[in-house]
Amino acid sequence: MAFALNEATRFISPTKTPEFLAAGVPVVSTPITDVVRPYGEKGLVEIAKTPLEVVRKAEILLERPREPWLSRVDRHLAAGSWDKTWATMNRLIEGALGVADGDRAALPVYATTPAE
């Protein structure tokens, strides 16, 4: 995954990383923060800054035993889901709004009317 390193990519979180890993596809990526942490730090993805590093990391991937790596990838991915991500985000939003756990009745309701 060769992303340019600039302001536009500074805070991206590429969803293709877990998608590739879930498909069992080894990944070499430029050092995008959300790829380095956690995937690079856990040894699930190889990180490379230069074209030569990409080649070296690809060689590492070709030589690495697949099954132990794939088991670690599966364990990592099994610990997360979009449902868990949403639940965490929702708790943060409700906390910021001062809503107690489970007290959704306290949330404001916004009604919209169809344009006429």
Does some domain include residue 104? no
> Based on the structure, what is the number of domains in the chain?
1
CB within 8 Å of 107: residues ≥ 6 apart? 94, 97, 99
Q: How far is the CA of 68 from the CAs of 60, 75, 101, 107, in angstroms?
A: 14, 11, 40, 47
Tokens 């404001």 found at: 108
Does some domain include residue 114? no
Domain that holds residue 56: 7-98
Contact 33, 11 (CB under 8 A): yes
Does some domain include residue 19? yes
Does some domain include residue 38? yes
Does some domain include residue 110? no
The predicted-structure confidence for 33-87, as pLDDT tens digits, reads as follows: 999 999 999 999 999 999 999 999 999 999 999 999 999 999 999 998 888 888 8
Tell me the pTM.
0.72
Provide the pLDDT confidence category of residue 10 given band limits of 50, 70 and 90. confident
Integer distance in angstroms from the first to the last C-alpha of the chain? Answer: 47
Who wins on pLDDT, 80 or 106? 80
CB within 8 Å of 52: residues ≥ 6 apart? none
DSSP 86: H
Does some domain include residue 90? yes
Does some domain include residue 112? no
